[in-house]
Every structure is written in structure tokens, then in C-alpha cells.
Amino acid sequence: MANLIKVISRVEIEPFVPVDLWEPRPDQLIFQEQKGLIIAPIAWFIGRPPGNPFEYFSMTPKKCYNGQTKIREDGTKSVCFREHCYKYLNYFENFYDRDKILLGFYAQAKFFMEAKKEEYTVPIFINELYRHVISFESSPILHYDITRMNEDNYNQMTALYKNTKNPCLEYKDVHAKILMEASLIQCLIIPLVSHYMYINKILNSIEVKDFLLACFNPIYDMLYKKYNVDLKNKLYETVITNIGKNRTHNPKLWDMQAIRGINPTIHAINTVENLIIQIVPKYKYSENIVSFNSNVIQNEIKYKVTEIPYEFELIQKSSSNRDDDNNSETDRFEAHMTKQNESLAMHLRVSCMKQMERIEQTYGPFSEAEIDFYIQELSKGDRQVKNVFQSELIFYLFMDEFGDTNSIKFVNVREYIILMLAAKRKLQLNNLFLLAEIIGGRVEKPVARKTVNKNIMLRMKMSENYQRVLNNYANEEILENTLFGFIAKCIASEFTIIDFYDRRLHGQVIEVNKDLIAEQFLSYALMI
């Protein structure tokens, strides 16, 4: 009966052949592939002859999408993604997308990428991907074809993971099938996504990663809406559980990762992102994808934590044992490191200056009189202008614009004040007026409190924004340890207003409404 359904759904006379066993005839090769390219027959859509460069989609921006098929030592073939992708595209176009809706969108997107490059911004491109391919609501016919191909080719997998204690870790056929649907959609759009990066010179590894996640995340949001299964959270729970087991056996190795800026949460998030970007698109219906994921997760732990050479050697340096020139071991070490890192520091400072120019242009102008006024007010009582608590909040707000975590630390006093003023304006534009005054005010009485009371916490967790923040960070521990700590400090500390333009307000104590500041910090978390 199942085979009959497959035949009827495909409207074919010839027997059903799964995609992984399908050997296309020359006349069935609608898409072509060659080194660095996927070629789609779309020139005729705009009246151009076949074989025109208009039909070329570059696969070079992401290395894992443009590998070469290799023969392993045991004689088996390791099929590269480009070959895998073009086979799945041809299968889909031959047997499911009879109206060539996907090809039509390829032609439309390619035209806008090259002829309307400036207008075809990243948000517009991602929205078009969603509207024309991903969404089952706005593109029902194409999505129906995607679902049919997934249903026809999926076979029940053996050795799926069972866990009666924690259902989040369980993988049933329904989960594997949804993962395969995600894989298929990613496969269909990757040539478009890759070429967009090529055209717009999105080549930096961080930019590539962020762009790919921005393109792929709507797929997982759509599948959550369609099947009520949160795949990203399921993958995260799987990864963090495996990390927990490994950490039990290797506690010292995991503790040593702090100097690299890695902890279990960060490693888990990075692994999930790697799965979504590099692994899911390579899924095959003929393979056990749950085992595939498991192997990748273990390898990520193995090659990035437990078996990677440790490049740091911790040596204790005395700060009290001094030589004839009154220099301690610590002083001599710092002098050596300063010389060693001079070029890096110079590079970071130049990068910092360039970003500050752009921030001034975006959020300014700022008068020198106002900047001097802030420096004067913040430094009263022989204080440092840069307060640790405020600077942390300000830096988080602009970290994305600097593109790294280091160059922003090279701001001088004047630039720091500009960042503070820009932060105030940025928050005010988002109606976060109380938080704006706190960030741009003077800390009169700092209190290092780390937790909020239970009532505030309960009311926060009832907020719609709390759920959105939780979905973004995928870990409640981060919220409790970081965000709640910020809120607690705001509530317990005392701040006064600094206002250059309204001296009646200047110096007044900022009344911190507990519920309001909690809600504004949730909005702040969504901004960063």
C-alpha cells in the first residue's frame, strides 16, 4: 500500500527509486555542477541563451559546500556536498517540482543579486527565501512538493535513541523525519545563499557563519510552527548532555578551557551552530542521521577540548619580589608582553578608531562641551571615568558593531564618553528611558548584588520578552547568572542623572522601579 501511495503521489509509471539510489539519465540533469559552481538552467527566464554566466551560482564562500568527492582507503566514495546537493536538486526538479517553481525563484533571486545588488539587502533576501521556498503558508505548492519528497524517501530508521527519563533527548522517527525535511530545504537554498555571499563579498568566517544562521534559522522556526517540535533546542539538549558526561570524566580539561573563552554552554552553542551549518545539509535518507549527529558531537568534544594540544602554560609570577631597579617578576613579564603585543595592540587601536568614527556618524553629533561635562562629572571625587558595571553594559550594546571582543577595549576616555552618549540615544530610541539614564548617569553607591528576589524573578518569567530572550540564549542559567545579576545591581545601587542640557535634572537621584528596570533589561538583552 505504501509503495502504491508513493507511485500515485509522484504520478509516475516507472517504479519508485529513492534519491540515494537514483542514477539520473543525461536528460534528467537539469542542474549541473563543476568545481566551484552549481549551474541552473534559468537564462531563458530572462531571454538569455543557455550557458550564460547568469546561470552560475558560486559555491566558494563556504569551504564545506565546495569540497571534492574523494575515494577512501577502503575503496568507498566520500561524496562532497556540491555533488550531493546537485543530485537532490535534480531529483526534486524531475519528480516533484513539475511547474519549476524553484527554478523560477532561482532566476528571480539571481536577477536581483546582480542587477539590483544595492537594493537586495540581507533582510530582503532572507525574507524572499522564506516567502518563496521555506514557508508552508506563503509558498504552499512548493512546500507541498518538499513534504512529498521527504515522505516518499524517508524510511524508518533503526537504532534511534530512546530515553525514558528525559524525553528531550529521545529521537523517534518523527524527529528524524523533521530533521530530514530541514536538510532538504537547506539543500535547495544553499546555492542561492552561497552565491549571495559571493556577490556581496561576505567572506569573513564570522560574517559567513552569522549570515548562514540568519538564512537557516527561519527553517527551524517554520518546522517548530508546523510540527510543534523545537529542533534547535533538541539538538542543544543532546549536545549539552554529551558535554556533561564528558566533563564528569575530564573535569580538569574542561576547567582549563576558561583561558580560551570556552565553557560547556559556549561549546554547546558552537556545536549546534556547526551541526546546522555543516552537518544537517549533508544528511542522506539512506544513513542514520542520529548516529551521524552523535559522531559529530563526540568529535567536536574530542578535537576542540579533550585531545587538542594545550597552548598555555600557567607560571606563577611574584609581584612583591623585586630586583635592584624595583621591578617585580610581574612587572618584567608585563613589559615583555607589551613589546610582544605592540603590533596587535596597534592593529586593534586602528580598528577601534575606525568603528568609533562610524558610531559618531550614526548616533552623533556630540558636542565637545557635552563630552567634557561628562568627563568632569564622572571623575569627581578622584574616580575613574569608566565604571566597570556601566562599561560592561555599554560594550555589550556595541560589541556587534565592532565585530570582535578586543578592539572595543581600546577606546580612550573621550571615545568612551561618546559610546556612553550613543548608548543613551540608542536605548531612548527603543523607549528604554530608565536604563538609558542608568547607563549614562553617575554611580554614586555601587552594590555588588548578584540575585533578585523571588517575586521579581517570577514576574519576569511571566513576561513575553523573557520567553523570547530564553529562546535566543537557549539556556536559563545564562539569564540567572548574568542578566539577573545586572538587574540586582541596578536595584541595589544608587545612581544620579548627568544632564548637560537640563541642569534642573542634573544630579537628581534616579528612582529605579524594580519591575520596569527588569522589563527594560529583557528588551536590552534582545537588542544585543
User: For 40-60, what is the HEC assignment?
Assistant: CCCHHHHCCCCCCHHHEEECC
* pLDDT given at position 312: 60
Is 80 exceeded by the pLDDT of residue 333? Answer: no
Q: What angle do CA 213, 216, 222 make, to 5 degrees?
A: 130
pLDDT top residue among 163 and 228? 228
In a domain, 263, yes or no: no
Decide: 389 and 378 in contact? Cβ < 8 Å: no
Picking from 44-48, 288-292, 341-345, 359-363, which range would have the lowest pLDDT averaged per residue? Answer: 341-345
Give the bridge partners for 33, in sequence order.
38
Mean pLDDT of 45-60: 86
Q: Is the pLDDT of residue 320 over 70?
A: no
Distance of CA 527 to the CA centre of its chain: 14
Q: How many residues belong to the chain? A: 528
- Higher-confidence position of 525 and 145: 145
- One domain for residues 283 and 344: no
In a domain, 168, yes or no: yes
Residue 12: what pLDDT? 47
Tens digit of pLDDT for each residue in 80-94?
Answer: 899 999 999 999 999
Helix (H, G, I), strand (E, B) or coil at 185: helix
Cell representation of residue 276: 546546522
| Residue 133: band (very low, low, confident or very high) from pLDDT cuts 50, 70, 90 | very high
Q: Tell whether 92 and 174 lie within a shared domain.
A: yes
pLDDT, average across residues 361-379: 85
Residue 126 has pLDDT above 80, yes or no: yes
Confidence of residue 335 (pLDDT cuts 50, 70, 90): low
Note the pLDDT of residue 105.
95
> Measured on CA atoms in the order 267, 270, 276, 282, is the torsion positive or negative?
negative
- pLDDT the model gives residue 172: 86
DSSP 288-331: -HHHHHHHHHHHHHIIIIISS----------SS-B-TTS-BHHH
User: d(Cα 323, Cα 511) in Å, to the nearest integer?
Assistant: 52
Residue 307 lies in a domain: no
Dihedral over Cα of 285, 291, 295, 298: its sign: positive
Same domain, 191 and 71: yes
Q: Are residues 283 and 360 in the same domain?
A: no
pLDDT above 80 for 138: yes
Predicted local distance difference test score (pLDDT) of residue 502: 82
Give the pLDDT band of residue 308 (cuts 50, 70, 90).
confident
pLDDT(122) > 80:
yes
Same domain (yes/no): 364, 464: yes
- Which helix H or strand E contains 135, and what residues bound it? none
Of 48 and 340, more confident: 48
Distance CA 70, CA 237 (A): 33
386 and 480 co-located in one domain = yes
State the average pLDDT over residues 367-381: 87
Q: Which tops the pLDDT comparison, 466 or 114?
A: 114
Residues 45 and 111 grouped into a single domain: yes
Number of independent structural domains in the chain: 2
In a domain, 267, yes or no: no
Q: Which residues contact 28 (CB under 8 A, 6 or more apart)?
A: 90, 94
pLDDT band at residue 455 under the 50/70/90 scheme: confident
Residue environment code for 166-194, b if the CB has 16+ CB neighbours within 10 A, otherwise e: eeebebeeebbbbbbbbbbbbbbbbbbbb
> pLDDT at residue 456 above 60?
yes
Contact by Cβ (8 Å): 47, 176: no
Does the pLDDT value for residue 343 go beyond 70?
Answer: no
The predicted pLDDT at position 4 comes to 35
Residue 464 covered by a domain: yes
Q: What digits encode the pLDDT tens for the residues 395-439? A: 888 877 776 667 777 788 888 889 889 888 888 888 888 888 988
Does the residue 301 lie in any domain?
no
pLDDT at 7 over 50: no
DSSP 408: G
Contact 457, 509 (CB under 8 A): no
pLDDT at 311: 60
509 forms beta bridges with 496
Q: Are residues 399 and 492 in the same domain?
A: yes
List the beta bridge partners of residue 494.
445
334 and 395 assigned to the same domain: yes
Say yes or no: 285 and 395 in one domain. Answer: no
Q: Which of 170-184, 316-330, 469-483, 495-509 has the lowest mean pLDDT?
A: 316-330
Task: Decide if pLDDT at 5 tops 50.
Answer: no
Residue 107's pLDDT band, with cuts at 50, 70 and 90, is very high
Give the residue-averaged pLDDT of 158-179: 75
Residue 47 lies in a domain: yes
More confident residue, 447 or 239: 239
> Average pLDDT in the 111-137 region?
93
Query: What pLDDT score was predicted for residue 144?
Result: 95
With b for 16 or more beta-carbon neighbours within 10 A and e for fewer, the 41-74 pattern comes to bbbebeeeeeeeebbbbbbebbeebbeeeeeeee
- Tell me if 49 is assigned to some domain: yes
Q: Which of 25-29, 42-46, 48-52, 108-112 has the lowest mean pLDDT?
A: 48-52
Do 30 and 90 lie in one domain? The reply is yes
Is the torsion defined by CA of 408, 411, 413, 415 positive or negative? negative
Helices (H), 119-204: 122-129, 140-153, 173-199
Residue 324 pLDDT class (50, 70, 90 cuts): low
Q: Which domain holds residue 405?
A: 329-527
How would residue 15 be classed by pLDDT, with cut points 50, 70 and 90? confident
Q: pLDDT (tens digit, 9 = 90+) per residue, 457-514?
A: 778 777 778 778 777 766 666 666 677 778 888 888 888 988 888 888 888 898 888 8
* Residue 97 confidence (pLDDT): 94
Backbone CA torsion sign across 404, 410, 415, 421: positive
CA distances 525 to 440, 465, 478, Å, are: 18, 9, 11
Provide the percentage of residues in the chain whose pLDDT is more than 70: 84
Between 37 and 383, the higher pLDDT residue: 37
| Pair 356, 423 in one domain | yes
